[in-house]
Structure 1
Amino acid sequence: MTGHNMEKRYKCDVCGKAWQCPRELEIHLRVHRGEHPFDCSECGKNFTTYDSLLLHNRVHSGERSFTCSDCGKSFKTAKSLKIHRQVHTGEKPYGCSTCGKTFAQFSGLQNHRRVHSSEPLLTCSACC
């Protein structure tokens, strides 16, 4: 049986999320118990999982393990690379429900929504 077909039998009683193995549930429960057993030796910030600590350590090391195959630019996280790739693909998944204008990043859509509301637009302090 592949991982995709396995039943997620271990359910969190707090939030309802479920996992295939009990160890994953136990790790998840740290969130609800407020446990952060993994501490960064550089800044003291603490994390729920060891993997999160390893990812955080890139902030201090400057490591950029994720490289764009189109332009060679490197990023610290896979998420940052995925967002960058939209420059090359032209993907703009965030659309304004009022006017239909689309944006590559959610933050762009959030700022644009101010056009349709009374909330002031953000301006560049260097230009304005």
Structure 2
Amino acid sequence: AHCSKAFKDKKALTVHQRVHTDERPFACNSCPKAFRKQTALTDHQRVHTGERPFTCACCPKAFKDKKALNVHQRVH
């Protein structure tokens, strides 16, 4: 065992173990990057597609991931 972290289910443990093994099974088709989680790949692919599905309710700006939207919303 690499660390003493505990997880609620086997999937969460499997994903966490990739931190220790550096396994990155989710590869981008458009560049050499690869990711530990499917969701990280999905967010990354928006760099290539230009998709910005997270829109601000207060202004016309849109973002490729929810974290960027949350950071932006602090300006309002």
Runs of 4+ in 1 over 3 A off after TM superposition: none
Partner of 1:26: 14
Partner of 1:82: 70
TM-score (norm 2): 0.89
Partner of 2:56: 68
TM-score (norm 1): 0.55
Shift of 1:16: 3.2
Partner of 2:2: 14
Which structure has more relative contact order (CA 8 Å, sep 6+)? It is 2
How many aligned residue pairs are there?
76
Give runs of aligned pairs for residues 96-115 of structure 1, distance below 5 A.
Answer: none
Larger proportion of helix: 2
Unaligned runs of 5+ in 1: 1-12, 89-128
Residue type at the aligned position of 1:79: K
Is the radius of gyration larger for structure 1 or structure 2? 1
For residue 87 of structure 1, give the secondary structure of its aligned residue in structure 2. Answer: coil
Shift of 1:14: 2.6
Shift of 1:72: 2.3
Q: Please give the alpha-carbon distance, in whole angstroms, between the structure 1 residues aligned to 2:45 and 2:3.
A: 29
Shift of 1:17: 3.0
Verify: 1:57 aligned to 2:57, yes or no. no
For residue 18 of structure 1, give the secondary structure of its aligned residue in structure 2. Answer: coil
Shift of 1:28: 1.0
